[in-house]
Structure 1
Amino acid sequence: MRFKICVFFLFFITVTSFSQTKVYDIGFLLDKSSNAIDVRLNDLENEIKAVIGEDAIIQYSDANRLINDFDIDLALKNYQTLLDNETDIIIAFGTLNNLMLTKQGNFPKPTILFGNVSQDLIDKPHFNNLKSIENFTAIITLQSYEEDLELLKELVNPRKVGVLIEESFLNYGNIDSTVEKLESKLDLELEVIPFASVDDILNNLDEMDAVYLLGGYYFSDSDIHKLADALIDRKIPSFTTTPINDVELGLLATSHDQTEVNQFFRRIALNVESIINEKEFPEIASLLELDKKLTININTANKLGLHLKYSLIVTTNIIGDATDLVADKKYTLVDVMQEAIEENLQLKTNKQDVLISEKDTQLAKSEYLPDVFVSATGDYVDPELAETANGQSPEWSTAGNVTLNQTIYSQAASANITIQKALQQAQQENYNSEELNTIFSASGAYFNALIYKANYKVQSQNLDLTKTNLQIATHNFEAGLTGKSDVLRFRSELTQNIQDLIIALNNMEQGFYELNKVLNNPIDSKIDVEDTELLEGSFQGYIYRQLAEFLDSPELRKTFVDFLIQEALENAPELKALDYNLIATERAEKLYSVGRFIPTLGLQGQYNYTFNRTGAGSTFPTFLTPPPNGYYYVGVNLSLPVFNQNKQNINKQIATIQSDQINLSKDDLKLTIEKSINDAILQLVNEISNIELSKVFEETSKEALELTQTSYANGAVNIVQLLDAQNNYLEAQLSVSTATYNYLYGLMELERYLGTYFLLQTEDEHAEFLQRFIEFTNNN
C-alpha cells in the first residue's frame, strides 16, 4: 500500500512539473525570403531549442514568418500582427525591419533585432553608447565598405568598380554620399548599380574592372551561380559582403566566414534563454565584433588569371581545389606520349639522321649509274703555225664532245651498297630507341607534374590545417588552458608551411615547364595534366589488369619474368641496331678478304664533233684525206689492285676487330636488359605493397590527428603531440600521392625495357602479347 502511495506521489509530481513547463511561440520578421534564408532560419530555430533544452517548450509557426518585400508600411503591419497574436518573442532581420523597429518608442513584447551594418553608414561610438531599452536588444555586426574595397584593390588593382546595391536599400541609406567619400579616399572610380535581379546586374557591367556586391542575401544559389559564371566569362573579379557560401558558389572573395553566422545564432539563443528565465537581456543593443578574414575562391581566381600575393596567404582562407587549374590544354598520358613522338625536337633531330642515312644509301647505289660529261672548246692558233700544220691546227676552230663512264661491276661499290643499307637500318633502330626514350622521358615529365601537383594540394591542405590548429591554440590560450608559447609555435609552423606551399607551387610550375619542353610547347604555355590511377583512366585496359595479376602471383612471376626477358630481347632496337652494324662490318670484312681478288669492270665511250674550222691552215692538203667532223670510240676496262700498300689486310683486320667488339656489346646489352627487367619487376612489387601500406598509414594518421586535435582542444594533450600527429598525417598524404604515380612510372619503365608501350597498342596486339605468354608458359 505504501509503495502504491509513493508511485502515485511521484506521478503527481511529474505531471505537475510537466504541466508547469511554459510554451513560447517565436515569430520572425523578414525583409524577404529565399530557400537559403529558410535553411538558415531552421538552423537558428534548432540552435534556440538546443540552448533552451527542457526549460521551456519552443514553438514555431510558418504563419509567424512574416515578410515585408521591402515595403516599410508592410514591415510595420507585420510587426503589429505579431504584437496582436499569440507570439511571445519576436526576432527580426533585414534593413527595413531595422529601420522600422529602431523608430519604435516601446516594445510590448521581447524583440531581438540582428543583422549587419556598415560602419561607413553609422556612428559607431554613438551605437555603443545606446541606453538599455526594455524588451529590446539588437545584435549587430559591423562591416566596412572601405576595408573591403581596400582588399579588392590589393587583389586586382581595378580602375572602375561597380558597387552593386539592392534598389530597396537605396531608399533608406545615404549610399551616394558614402560612395563619394570612398571614391576620394581610395582613389577609385565607383559606380552605383542598383539591382532587383541578377539580370539587372549583368546588363550594367560595361567598362567595369571589378564589382563589389552589397546585399544579394536573398539571391538563390542558382542566382549566385549565374552571376559568378557571367562575371568569370567577362573576366570581372568580384568581392561580396555576403557569407562564404556565395564564394563557394563562384564569387571571388569576401571578408566574412561561417563563424559569423554561428556566433549570431548563439547570441540570439542566449538572449531567448534570458527571456524564458525572466531575466533582463544580457546586453543592450550592441556591436558584435568579429575577426575578419579574407576568403578567396582559388578556382575563380585561376579562371580570372589572378595570382594571389604571397603576403596574403597567411591571413587568407582559400577555398576550392588549388590544383584545378585553368589551362589551354589538359593532357592525358596517352596525349603526352603521342605528342612527344610528333613534336619533340630531339626526336626530330634524330629523324634527320635517318634521312641522311637514306641519302647515303642512295649515294652508294649511284655508283652503278652512268657518268656522262659534255664539253665544248674554242681554239685560236698563231696563223704562221696554222699554215705549217697541214690542216691539223686551223687558225680558228670550235669542237665538242660527250664522254660516258659506266661501272658494270665493282665489288667495292656492291659492298658499299650493302653496308650503307645495313647502316641505314641501324640508324632507323637508333631512332626507334630514341623514340622509346623520348616517350619514357615524356611519361616521366607527366608523372613528375602529377606528383608536384598532388604535393601542392597536400601542402595547401596542411596550411589550412595549421591555421585551424592555430585557432585552437588561440582559444586554449584565451581560456587559460595553455600558454602563449603554443600560439607562437603554431605561428612559426604557419610561416614554415607557407614557405613549403610556395616551394610546392614553384615545383609544380617547373614540372609544367619541363613537360612543355618535352612536347615542344612554348615554355609558359598554360597546360594541366589529367590525374590517373592504377587500373583507371589510361591504365584501365585488360592488359594492365593481367599484368597486375601476374606480378601478384608468386607462382607465375618467375615464368612471367623469363617471358618478358625474351620479349625484350626480341624487341630491343639497340640489339637490332648492333645486328645491322654487324652485317655492315662483316660485309666490309668480306670485301677486304676474297672480295679484293674480284676485278672491277667498266665501260667508257666518247663522241667528238668539230663545229667550225676557219682561217689559216683550215684546209687539208690534197694528199691528205680530211677526218670526219664527228667520230666516236667505245672501250671496256678491267682493273685489279695487286698491292695497295697493305691497306687491304689492315682494313680486314680492323673489320674483324669491329665484329668482335659488336658481339661483345651485344652480350653485354643482353645482360643489361635481363637485369633491368628483373629490377623493374622487383620495384613494381615493392610499389604494390607501398600503395596499400600508404593508404593504411593515411587512414590511421588522419584518425589519430582528429583524436589528438579534440584532446588538445580539451587540454588533454600538449602541442608536441598535436604537431607530431599533423606531421604524420602530412607525411602519409605525401606518401599516398606519390605511391601510385611511382608504380605507374615503374610500369612505363618496364615497358621501355620491353621495347613497346601497351598504351600505344591496339587490343589485338594486347591479345597477341597474352597469347605469346600462354604459349611460353606451356612450353616451359
Structure 2
Amino acid sequence: MNARQMLKWAVLLLIPILLVSTGSAFAARKTFNIGVVSDGPLARFQEIAALYQSEIISMASSEFDVKFPADKQLDGGWTLAGVNQAIDRLLADPQVDIVITLGEVGTNEVCKRRNLPKPVIAPFVVDAEIQKLPIKGNASGVKNLSYINTYRNFNRAIKRFQEVVPFKRLAALSDQFAIEAIPNLQRPVGPIARKAQIRIEVVRVTDSAEEALQRVPPGVDAVLTTALPRFTPAEFRKLTDGLIERRLPSMTVTDYEEVQDGVLATTVPASAKQQLARNVAINTYEVLRGEPAGNLSTVFNEGETLTLNMATARAIGIYPGWRVLTEAELLNEEPGDRDQKITLFEAVREALVANLDLAVAGKNVTAGEQSVKERRSGLLPQIGISSQARIIDADRARNSLGTNPERLWTGSATASQLIYSEKTWAGYEIEKHLQNARVEELATVKLDIMQLAATAYLNVLRVKSIERI
C-alpha cells in the first residue's frame, strides 16, 4: 500500500470520529431559558426582541443552547403593579434561568430589589445616579443584578440642538407611565434649563400623536422627544408630520431611526441600538459561563454623532450654519444643502462676530470704562463708617478706676470732599483721553475688518465671474 492510499484510509477513518465528537459536543450543550419583561405591549416588540435574541444566540450558541419560550415573554400592561407581577412571575418560574427587562420602568423596579433568586439583566437605566440605583465600582454590587446605565448627557444634547437652531422655550415629550413610575426622572429638568438659559416644559404623552400635539404649549420654540415606547411607527410619523406642520424643530435623545422618520436632529449614533443589544448579549454570556451578575460592568458608552434630516430642515424653513453642516451626518441631502448662500452684509456681519482682534478691542473698551470710574472716584465725596466693641473681665474694669469699662461699644462716621487736587484731576482727564483712544481704536479695528471682509467677498465674486467666462 503506497503513501497516498494510506492517507486516504486515514481520512476515511477520521471522518466518523469527528462527526461523533461534534455531535457529542452539541448534545452536551446545556439549555437555558430566558424570560423577558416589557413595560407594556410594544408595537415593535417582535423587532426589538428579535434583535436581542439574535445577539444573545450569536454570542452564546457555541457553548449553550439558549431559548426564548413564547410563554415567558411577558408585559406589564403599562401599570406599575402589572410590571412587578410579571417580574415576580418570571423570578418564581423554575423553567426560567435568566430574566431580561426591556423597559425603563421594569428596569427601575427590578433594580430596587435586593434579593433576586436568579440573574436579571436590566439594560434600560436612564441615569443610575438620579434613579439612586446600587453601584459598587463599575458594577451593581447586588447579587444576581446586572444593569446597564444608558445615561445620555442631556446638557450636551441640548447644547448641540441649540447649535443647529437657537431656541428659548423647549417642550420635552415624555411617556406618562415612565414619569409617574420614576418621578426622579424630572429632577434634572430645572438645572438643565438654567444651564442652557432656556425654559423646559415636560409634556406627558401616551400613545396618541394628536393628543401629544395638542399638549404642546403655544409659544414653544422647539421639541425634544425622549423614549415613547407606546407609539406605533405610523403614530410617530403623525407626530413628526404635526411638528413639521407647526414648523417646530425637533430632536430625539433616544433613537437614531426617529430622525429617519422625520425628527430634525439627534446625537444618538446609528449603531446605538445594536451596541446596547450586544452589551446585553455579552453580559448574558458571562452569566451563562458562571460570572456573578453583580460583578458585571454597568458602563455603556455609545459615543455621539450629530445627524440632521435635511428634508425636515427644508420643510420647516431652517438652515443650520456651515460648521454644523460640515460636522453632521446629513440625511435626505440635496446638492445645494452644503452650499450656503451668503450676502455681502452677512459676510461682513459674520466677520465682525468671529474676529478675535475686534473682541480684544471691545474688552479693552469695557475695561477702560472701569478705569475712568476709578480715577473719578477720587473726586467724589468720601464717607466712612466704623464700629468697635470690646468686653473685658470685671476685675480689670475695677482696677482701671473707670477708665476702662467692662463693656465698651463705640462708633464713628466721617465725611470728606476733595476741594481741589491737580494730580487727581489730571489723572481723571488723562484716563478719559485714553478711553477715547480705546474707543477710536475699536472703531478702527471694526472698519478694517469690514473692509477686509467686503474685499474678500468681492474678490470671490470676481473669481467666480471669471470662472464662468
Normalised by the shorter chain, which TM-score bucket? 0.5 to 0.7
User: Conserved in 2, the CA contact under 8 Å of 1:128 and 1:287?
Assistant: no
Match of 1:35 among 15, 35, 43: 43
Look up the match of 2:296.
284
Structure 2 vs 1, CA of residues 303 and 276 (structure 1 numbering), >3 Å: closer, same or farther? Answer: same
The answer for unaligned runs of 5 or more in structure 2 is 1-10, 344-469
Match of 2:312 among 286, 300, 317: 300
Look up the match of 2:194.
184
Structure 2 vs 1, CA of residues 90 and 56 (structure 1 numbering), >3 Å: closer, same or farther? Answer: same
Look up the match of 2:81.
73
Look up the match of 2:267.
255
Greater per-residue helix proportion: 1
Q: Which residue identity does 1:201 align to in structure 2?
A: A
Instruction: Give per-residue Cα distances to partners, 1:6-39, cap 9 Å, x unaligned.
Output: 9998776565444322111111111123332321
Q: Secondary structure at the match of 2:251?
A: strand
Instruction: Give per-residue Cα distances to partners, 1:141-177, cap 9 Å, x unaligned.
Output: 2112222222222322222211212111222223454
Q: In 1, Cα distance between the equivalents of 2:165 and 2:136?
A: 34
- Cα deviation for residue 74 of structure 1 reads 1.6
Q: In 1, Cα distance between the equivalents of 2:139 and 2:27?
A: 40
Structure 2 vs 1, CA of residues 300 and 6 (structure 1 numbering), >3 Å: closer, same or farther? Answer: closer
Match of 2:142 among 133, 138, 163: 133
Look up the match of 1:156.
165
Structure 2 vs 1, CA of residues 120 and 253 (structure 1 numbering), >3 Å: closer, same or farther? Answer: farther
Structure 2 vs 1, CA of residues 313 and 19 (structure 1 numbering), >3 Å: closer, same or farther? Answer: same
> What TM-score do the two structures reach when normalised by structure 1?
0.39
2:282 pairs with 1:270: yes
Q: In 2, Cα distance between the equivalents of 1:89 and 1:125?
A: 20
Segments ≥4 residues shifted beyond 6 Å: 3-12
Q: Secondary structure at the match of 2:36?
A: strand
2:203 pairs with 1:193: yes
Q: In 2, Cα distance between the equivalents of 1:187 and 1:210?
A: 14
Q: In 2, Cα distance between the equivalents of 1:284 and 1:11?
A: 37
Structure 2 vs 1, CA of residues 310 and 14 (structure 1 numbering), >3 Å: closer, same or farther? Answer: closer
2:128 pairs with 1:143: no
Instruction: Give per-residue Cα distances to partners, 1:726-766, cap 9 Å, x unaligned.
Output: xxxxxxxxxxxxxxxxxxxxxxxxxxxxxxxxxxxxxxxxx
Instruction: Give per-residue Cα distances to partners, 1:245-295, cap 9 Å, x unaligned.
Output: 111010111111221112212221122222232234595352212211221
Match of 2:72 among 54, 57, 64: 64
Q: Which residue identity does 1:174 align to in structure 2?
A: N
Q: In 2, Cα distance between the equivalents of 1:79 and 1:319?
A: 40
Instruction: Give per-residue Cα distances to partners, 1:490-534, cap 9 Å, x unaligned.
Output: xxxxxxxxxxx54xx559x9xxxxxxxxxxxxxxxxxxxxxxxxx
Residues 423-442 of structure 1: pairs in structure 2 closer than 5 A: none
Q: Which residue identity does 1:99 align to in structure 2?
A: N
Instruction: Give per-residue Cα distances to partners, 1:444-479, cap 9 Å, x unaligned.
Output: xxxxxxxxx4xx58xxxxxxxxxxxxxxxxxxxxxx
- The number of residues matched between the two structures is 330
2:217 pairs with 1:216: no
User: Conserved in 1, the CA contact under 8 Å of 2:114 and 2:143?
Assistant: no
Structure possessing the higher radius of gyration over alpha carbons: 1
Q: Percent identity?
A: 20
Look up the match of 2:6.
none
Look up the match of 2:96.
87
The answer for unaligned runs of 5 or more in structure 1 is 324-452, 458-500, 510-780
Q: Which residue identity does 1:42 align to in structure 2?
A: A
Q: In 1, Cα distance between the equivalents of 2:12 and 2:120?
A: 48
2:63 pairs with 1:55: yes
> What TM-score do the two structures reach when normalised by structure 2?
0.63
Instruction: Give per-residue Cα distances to partners, 1:165-192, cap 9 Å, x unaligned.
Output: 2111222223454322223222212222
Structure 2 vs 1, CA of residues 306 and 58 (structure 1 numbering), >3 Å: closer, same or farther? Answer: same
Structure 2 vs 1, CA of residues 278 and 309 (structure 1 numbering), >3 Å: closer, same or farther? Answer: same
2:109 pairs with 1:109: no
Structure 2 vs 1, CA of residues 313 and 116 (structure 1 numbering), >3 Å: closer, same or farther? Answer: farther
Q: Which residue identity does 1:291 align to in structure 2?
A: G
User: Conserved in 1, the CA contact under 8 Å of 2:112 and 2:133?
Assistant: no
Q: In 2, Cα distance between the equivalents of 1:201 and 1:127?
A: 39
Look up the match of 1:202.
213
Structure 2 vs 1, CA of residues 256 and 76 (structure 1 numbering), >3 Å: closer, same or farther? Answer: same
CA RMSD of aligned residues (A): 3.1
Q: Secondary structure at the match of 2:70?
A: strand
Look up the match of 1:96.
105
Instruction: Give per-residue Cα distances to partners, 1:654-682, cap 9 Å, x unaligned.
Output: xxxxxxxxxxxxxxxxxxxxxxxxxxxxx
Look up the match of 2:52.
44
Look up the match of 1:121.
130
- Cα deviation for residue 317 of structure 1 reads 1.8
Residues 536-685 of structure 1: pairs in structure 2 closer than 5 A: none
- Cα deviation for residue 45 of structure 1 reads 0.8
Q: In 2, Cα distance between the equivalents of 1:92 and 1:207?
A: 38
- Cα deviation for residue 132 of structure 1 reads 2.6
Look up the match of 1:484.
none
- Cα deviation for residue 128 of structure 1 reads 5.1
Q: In 1, Cα distance between the equivalents of 2:57 and 2:301?
A: 25
Q: In 1, Cα distance between the equivalents of 2:173 and 2:77?
A: 19
Q: In 1, Cα distance between the equivalents of 2:328 and 2:285?
A: 36
Q: Secondary structure at the match of 1:307?
A: coil
- Cα deviation for residue 127 of structure 1 reads 7.2
Q: Which residue identity does 1:289 align to in structure 2?
A: N
Instruction: Give per-residue Cα distances to partners, 1:363-398, cap 9 Å, x unaligned.
Output: xxxxxxxxxxxxxxxxxxxxxxxxxxxxxxxxxxxx
Residues 328-343 of structure 1: pairs in structure 2 closer than 5 A: none
Structure 2 vs 1, CA of residues 201 and 40 (structure 1 numbering), >3 Å: closer, same or farther? Answer: same
Q: In 2, Cα distance between the equivalents of 1:158 and 1:10?
A: 68
Structure 2 vs 1, CA of residues 189 and 49 (structure 1 numbering), >3 Å: closer, same or farther? Answer: same
Look up the match of 1:173.
183
Look up the match of 1:721.
none
Structure 2 vs 1, CA of residues 128 and 97 (structure 1 numbering), >3 Å: closer, same or farther? Answer: farther
User: Conserved in 2, the CA contact under 8 Å of 1:252 and 1:300?
Assistant: yes
Q: Which residue identity does 1:96 align to in structure 2?
A: V
Structure 2 vs 1, CA of residues 123 and 282 (structure 1 numbering), >3 Å: closer, same or farther? Answer: closer
- Cα deviation for residue 4 of structure 1 reads 13
Structure 2 vs 1, CA of residues 273 and 156 (structure 1 numbering), >3 Å: closer, same or farther? Answer: same
Q: In 1, Cα distance between the equivalents of 2:318 and 2:232?
A: 27
Structure 2 vs 1, CA of residues 264 and 283 (structure 1 numbering), >3 Å: closer, same or farther? Answer: farther
- Cα deviation for residue 120 of structure 1 reads 8.3
2:24 pairs with 1:24: no
Structure 2 vs 1, CA of residues 64 and 157 (structure 1 numbering), >3 Å: closer, same or farther? Answer: same
